[in-house]
Chains A and B, each alone.
Chain A
Amino acid sequence: SAVISQKPSRDICQRGTSLTIQCQVDSQVTMMFWYRQQPGQSLTLIATANQGSEATYESGFVIDKFPISRPNLTFSTLTVSNMSPEDSSIYLCSVVKNRGTRRNTEAFFGQGTRLTVV
């Protein structure tokens, strides 16, 4: 399994400002992911955070709005830039690790960061 810590757990921010969310994993992982969950909605993948290279963004998400850092194999940050009320969501960090002896992978999630933009 993997223990994932996200900071902050929640925040209320003024529009036009930026917030950086931190994700710390208790073990080294190759791939880390950032998801967004808008109010009452399901999760949507924002980007894949790659160690040693640029993040890979999904359609509809751009680096200028959601810059990501991945300085090592246990840590990543997601910044929500120039925030507007539409950015109010839960942002979740996820990692993928092998499960037991079976040759397969499993996704683990942090508790999420609840962001409210006013």
Chain B
Amino acid sequence: DAKTTQPTSMDCAEGRAANLPCNHSTISGNEYVYWYRQIHSQGPQYIIHGLKNNETNEMASLIITEDRKSSTLILPHATLRDTAVYYCIVRVLTGAGSYQLTFGKGTKLSVIP
């Protein structure tokens, strides 16, 4: 899996949008961008993933740059329960080696009242 670079930590005011950046400049054409988060004392939880188009689901939006070298996870209205470590991971979608996840250090997001 390609390596990713994320800021170590970020703060966000409750109710505001949280924008979490990720750099993945060595991403390959067949690798997707995945986001997981880990709330304290829990296992990681899937948030969203995408290849090259922007994606949105009930949890978040994912904006991927045209050159695919970076992306931004957007939590539109952050709540205190969104306080967690957010991991950006790039991985191939199918085939051998597609199942293991390589976790970086992630971004610790603190949502402040």
Tell me the complex Cα distance, A48–B106, Å.
23
Q: Which residue of B lies closest to A112 (CB)?
A: B43
B 95-113 to A, binary, CB cutoff 8 A, 1 in contact else 0: 0001111111110000000
| Minimal beta-carbon separation of A99 from chain B (angstroms) | 8
Q: Is the interface of B mostly helix, strand, loop or mixed?
A: loop
Residues of A within 8 A of B32 (CB): 104
- Say whether B30 faces chain A, with CB atoms less than 8 Å apart: no
A 91-106 to B, binary, CB cutoff 8 A, 1 in contact else 0: 0101010000001111
Binding site for B on A (CB under 8 A): 4, 31, 33, 41-45, 48, 92, 94, 96, 103-112, 114
Tell me the complex Cα distance, A42–B45, Å.
14
Contact of A31 among B45, B87, B93, B99 (CB under 8 A): B99
Q: Is the interface of A mostly helix, strand, loop or mixed?
A: strand
Q: Which residue of B lies closest to A93 (CB)?
A: B43
For chains A and B in complex, what number of residue pairs have CB atoms within 8 angstroms?
Answer: 52
| Minimal beta-carbon separation of A35 from chain B (angstroms) | 8
Binding site for A on B (CB under 8 A): 32, 36, 41-46, 49, 87, 93-94, 98-106
Given contacts A42-B104, A42-B106, contact A104 B43 (CB under 8 A): no
Given contacts A42-B106, A105-B94, contact A48 B46 (CB under 8 A): no
| Minimal beta-carbon separation of A84 from chain B (angstroms) | 24
Q: Which residue of B lies closest to A96 (CB)?
A: B99
B104 touches A109 (CB 8 A): no
A33 touches B105 (CB 8 A): no
A33 touches B100 (CB 8 A): yes
Known A42-B87, A45-B101, A94-B43; further 5 A-B contacts with Cβ < 8 A = A42-B103, A42-B105, A104-B94, A107-B101, A112-B42
Contact of B46 among A42, A44, A107 (CB under 8 A): A107
Contact of A105 among B41, B93, B104 (CB under 8 A): B93
| Minimal beta-carbon separation of B19 from chain A (angstroms) | 21
Q: Which residue of A lies closest to B46 (CB)?
A: A106
B43 touches A110 (CB 8 A): yes
Tell me the complex Cα distance, A55–B43, Å.
22
Tell me the complex Cα distance, A53–B103, Å.
26
